[in-house]
């Protein structure tokens, strides 16, 4: 039955939300999208159905950025800048470093042995694991990156159709860019100005609208004009705009949460708009905002039993950063023979183990360092006089690990 529910502020607070379940679903959707280009060399069905506007993976990444914008806006407003940067680094960097090390030193040697019956030559090749790991400071390890020719051999033999070891990592530099922008706005006091964030979101939407005729997808292709940024490498304007809009929409929803109704009828309308825009055009302009609203409605409307997902153990990031190399491995050993659904089942099952190990051995231990402070800074803070009274307590924050 369709009925009004309340506002975003009323229905999403603390950990009483479905963010964890949605993140896990979005990560699994990215894995499902990659089955087709890795195993068969063509995009997933949504790409064709939408006339090349988007695919399942790109739509899921947009969802990630919207949820991230909502949570990170609250974090950037709440924390001092240094602590905010420390928290963001702990959430992203250890996990991806573990994924890269696993791929280069565990997965690729095993696949090389599968191909050649020996590890002779694997470690000493110019494009070997050491070269892969030591070159990461100058480029993003996505398209074209391989280790000791393992993926290239799969492409030559017809089992693999994507040449990158971990093509899913392309979005991380854009996520870091959004984090940096949010931190800068918080440092300047602009995140506390709701109208500024709303105006920035509208300005970016209008900027995308001005060039919409040239953009074939909600998240445009990786090519096109861009700029090289320190640490992040080459950033494409089209991708930064598309993903930045989703991030800003999430942030704007956070700042105006008490005025945003979460209503079943509006959610149905948003679903129709998103589907219609994907099918007949305008996904970047109409479909993305509709998809974002639908996502937050789902976070509030998911049954209570789903709200515990991700509250203690969040495997979604691990699924995202390990899914692509695991799928490359499945394709190389002949996974395409099981068809898309069989391939996907194998991929999700096989990705679960490294994702769980990543959380328990790398990500969760790193997050326990969030409150750590270097000795000199801690002693300086202890010497500062404490205020006579504390400010009034703030309303509960939406939290996310």
| pLDDT tens, position by position, 266-293 | 999 999 999 999 999 999 999 999 999 9
Average the pLDDT over 64-80 and give the result: 94
Helices (H), 119-171: 129-134, 150-157
Give the pLDDT confidence of 43-53 residue by residue, as tens digits. Answer: 999 999 999 99
Q: Which residue has the higher pLDDT, 164 or 384?
A: 164
Report if residue 121 sits inside a domain: yes
User: Does the pLDDT of residue 155 top 80, yes or no?
Assistant: yes
pLDDT band (50, 70, 90) for residue 6: confident
Q: Are 19 and 11 in contact (CB under 8 A)?
A: no
User: Alpha-carbon distance 347 to 30, whole Å?
Assistant: 11
User: Alpha-carbon distance 95 to 66, whole Å?
Assistant: 21
Report if residue 399 sits inside a domain: no
Range of the domain at 326: 4-372
Give the pLDDT confidence of 130-140 residue by residue, as tens digits. Answer: 888 876 655 55
Report if residue 389 sits inside a domain: no
pLDDT band (50, 70, 90) for residue 317: very high
Output b/e per residue, 58-74; b: 16+ Cβ within 10 A: bbbbbbbbbbbbbbbbb
User: Does the pLDDT of residue 400 top 90, yes or no?
Assistant: no
Find the range with the poorest average confidence among 140-149, 334-343, 344-353.
140-149
Report if residue 231 sits inside a domain: yes
Best CA proximity match to 88, nearest among 104, 78, 76: 76
Output b/e per residue, 183-205; b: 16+ Cβ within 10 A: bebbeeeebeeeeebeebbeebb
Report if residue 233 sits inside a domain: yes
pLDDT for 11 equals: 82
Q: Which residue has the higher pLDDT, 143 or 379?
A: 379
pLDDT for 77 equals: 92
**How many Å separate Cα 195 from the centre of its chain?**
27
Report if residue 359 sits inside a domain: yes
Which of 123-127, 300-304, 376-380 ranks highest by mean pLDDT?
Answer: 123-127
What is the CA angle 110-355-299, rounded to 5? Answer: 150
pLDDT for 401 equals: 45
pLDDT band (50, 70, 90) for residue 205: very high
pLDDT for 380 equals: 56
Cβ neighbours for 37, distance < 8 A, ≥ 6 positions apart = 43, 44, 161, 162
Output the average pLDDT for the chain: 87
Tally the domains of the chain.
Answer: 1
Give the pLDDT confidence of 86-108 residue by residue, as tens digits. Answer: 999 999 999 999 999 999 999 99
> How many CA atoms does the CB half-sphere of 125 hold within 13 Å?
17
pLDDT band (50, 70, 90) for residue 324: very high
List of long-range contacts for 198-204, beta carbons under 8 Å, 24+ apart: 198/252, 198/255, 198/256, 200/248, 201/245, 201/248, 201/249, 201/251, 201/252, 204/241, 204/244, 204/245, 204/248
What is the CA angle 201-202-204, rounded to 5? Answer: 65
Report if residue 384 sits inside a domain: no
pLDDT for 395 equals: 41
Q: Which residue has the higher pLDDT, 104 or 232?
A: 104
Report if residue 380 sits inside a domain: no
pLDDT for 137 equals: 52
SS3 158: coil
User: Alpha-carbon distance 212 to 215, whole Å?
Assistant: 5
User: Alpha-carbon distance 299 to 316, whole Å?
Assistant: 15
pLDDT band (50, 70, 90) for residue 236: confident
Best CA proximity match to 26, nearest among 74, 70, 58, 71: 58
User: Does the pLDDT of residue 396 top 50, yes or no?
Assistant: no
pLDDT for 12 equals: 79
User: Does the pLDDT of residue 150 top 90, yes or no?
Assistant: yes
């Amino acid at each position: 039955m369709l009925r009004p529910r309340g506002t975003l502020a009323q229905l999403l607070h603390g950990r009483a939300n479905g963010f964890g379940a949605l993140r896990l679903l979005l990560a699994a959707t990215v894995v499902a999208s990659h089955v087709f280009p890795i195993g068969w060399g063509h995009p997933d069905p949504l790409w064709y159905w939408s006339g090349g506007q988007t695919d399942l993976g790109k739509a899921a990444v947009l969802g990630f950025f919207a949820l991230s914008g909502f949570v990170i806006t609250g974090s950037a407003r709440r924390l001092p800048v240094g602590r905010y940067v420390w928290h963001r680094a702990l959430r992203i960097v250890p996990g991806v470093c573990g994924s890269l090390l696993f791929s280069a030193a565990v997965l690729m040697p095993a696949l090389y042995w599968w191909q050649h019956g020996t590890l002779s030559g694997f470690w000493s090749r110019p494009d070997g694991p050491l070269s892969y790991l030591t070159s990461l400071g100058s480029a993003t390890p996505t398209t074209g990156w391989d280790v000791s020719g393992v993926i290239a051999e799969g492409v030559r033999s017809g089992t693999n159709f994507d040449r990158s070891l971990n093509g899913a990592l392309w979005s991380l530099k854009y996520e870091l860019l959004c984090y940096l922008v949010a931190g800068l706005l918080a440092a300047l006091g602009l995140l506390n100005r709701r109208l500024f964030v709303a105006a920035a979101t509208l300005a970016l939407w209008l900027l995308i609208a001005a060039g919409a005729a040239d953009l074939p997808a909600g998240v445009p292709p990786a090519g096109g004009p861009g700029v090289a940024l320190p640490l992040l490498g080459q950033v494409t304007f089209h991708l930064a705009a598309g993903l930045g809009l989703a991030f800003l929409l999430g942030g704007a929803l956070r700042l105006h949460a008490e005025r945003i109704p979460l209503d079943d009828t509006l959610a149905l309308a948003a679903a129709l708009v998103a589907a219609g825009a994907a099918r007949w055009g305008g996904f970047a302009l109409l479909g993305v905002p509709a998809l974002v609203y639908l996502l937050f409605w789902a976070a509030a409307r998911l049954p209570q039993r789903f709200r515990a997902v991700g509250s203690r153990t969040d495997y979604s990031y691990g699924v995202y950063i390990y899914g692509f190399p695991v799928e490359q491995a499945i394709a190389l050993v002949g996974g395409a023979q099981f068809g898309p659904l069989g391939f996907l089942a194998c991929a999700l099952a096989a990705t679960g183990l490294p994702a769980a190990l990543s959380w328990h051995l790398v990500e969760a231990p790193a997050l326990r360092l969030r409150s750590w402070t270097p000795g000199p800074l801690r002693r300086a803070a202890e010497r500062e006089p404490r205020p006579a009274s504390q400010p009034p307590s703030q309303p509960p924050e939406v939290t996310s690990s």
